[in-house]
Amino acid sequence: MSTDQIILYAVLAALVALWAVRTLRRRTIPRRNVQQVQGLLSERTPTVLLDVRTDAERSSSAIKGSHHIPLHRLRSRISELEKYRKREIVCFCQNGSRSLTAAAVLRRLGFTASSMDGGMVEWNSARER
């Protein structure tokens, strides 16, 4: 086996390992559907909704009472969430993908966090039904 082949296989193995870790991390993030989130809010449980969409997305629609920290600013603004450390933080975005990343970041920092499946698309669709 040549040196080039060994390097290629090592790079491929690293990429597969990285993919596996990311996949497993996403699977371990608790996910809540819209009905579960609405239930938590109606029960007045100590749940915090965190909107991680961009400012432009937020300006078009928002969930009343939710907090807004765009995903790309989450790490630099984490201190704003310290007062909610003992509460569940349900992250949401437009369709549910960025909220998984936000929840993973929060969980690594010791918060109790989950992601709302379907994001605002599902939230708005449930309101229309």
The structural domains of the chain, with segments of one domain joined by +, span 30-128
Range of weakest confidence among 12-16, 64-68, 122-126: 12-16
Using the predicted structure, report yes or no on whether residue 67 has a pLDDT greater than 80: yes
pTM of the model: 0.78
With a pLDDT cut of 90, the percent of the chain lying above it is 65
Strands 112-116 and 88-92, by their bridges, are parallel
Q: Extract the tokens encoding 112.
A: 């109790």
Separation between Cα atoms, residue 53 and residue 93, nearest integer Å? 5
Given this model, what pLDDT does residue 128 score?
73
Render pLDDT for 78-124 as a digit per residue (tens, 0 to 9).
Answer: 999 999 999 999 999 999 889 999 999 999 999 999 999 999 999 99
Higher pLDDT, 129 or 8: 8
Given this model, what pLDDT does residue 40 score?
86
> Over the chain, what is the mean pLDDT?
88
Q: Which CATH architecture has domain 30-128?
A: 3-Layer(aba) Sandwich (3.40)
